[in-house]
Amino acid sequence: MKLGNKIFLSPLLRYTLKDGNLYFFINFILLKTKYITMNARRNFLKQSGILTAGLAFNPTELLKGQTKIGLQLYTLREDIAKDVKGVIKIVAAAGYKEVETFGLSKEQQFFGLSVKAFGQLLKDNGLISPSGHYLPAEMLFENGNGDDVKKLCDVGHTLGHQYIVIPHLEERRRKTIEQYKTLAERINKAGEICKKANLQLAYHNHDFEFLEI
């Protein structure tokens, strides 16, 4: 959410596992950009009063509505790395039907499971995965030939994805305008590869995209 052209309000979802149950909290934060003036910040805080509030919800109650709400598995990264099968079971028991994946290793595994086995785990728990977080480093930062994007498309087909999502850019990859121009060209090429595979390439933005270089 943008207030005028100064302040961005971003909902931050946090998840935690406790005693075999899944809980999530919504915090609203101000994106820290150089464009936020002290007066704008002070007025916004005065009017809203919600930035310091952490609102806890019962996921099963929220999921009773018609809106499809999925879970980004990255929010459970510490737990899922220890017990992938247990965490997926808890996520399903909490009422979720969709998840966004992450964590594909160089060995083409998700937390020790092959792509096919991981997909079967989701299916066995009544979960589908419309999207996944992946970073095609070769395509974006190295040779640019697109082979890694094609492999990710194969992964996406196995898991039933609609979207291949680029999750983040390291700071060293986004220091100059020239880097961004090269990235734009290569992301467009990656998008063409995904389109030919009947998938859509997406980009998960953060606050740094709003900063001047």
Alpha carbon 126 to chain centroid distance?
21
pLDDT at 81: 96
Residue among 47, 50, 49, 71 nearest 59 (CA): 71
Q: What pLDDT is stored for residue 68 in this prediction?
A: 76
Q: What is the pLDDT of residue 16?
A: 58
pLDDT at 21: 62
- Beta-carbon contacts of 161 under 8 Å, excluding residues fewer than 6 positions away, are 129, 130, 131, 132, 155, 199
pTM above 0.75, yes or no: no
Interval 140-151: pLDDT, tens: 999 888 999 999
Axis-axis angle for helices 115-124, 84-93 (nearest 10): 30
Question: What's the confidence (pLDDT) of residue 59?
Answer: 54
List the chain domain ranges. Answer: 1-57
| Spatial distance between the Cα atoms of 100 and 52, rounded to a whole number of angstroms | 28
pLDDT beneath 70, residues of the chain: 1-66
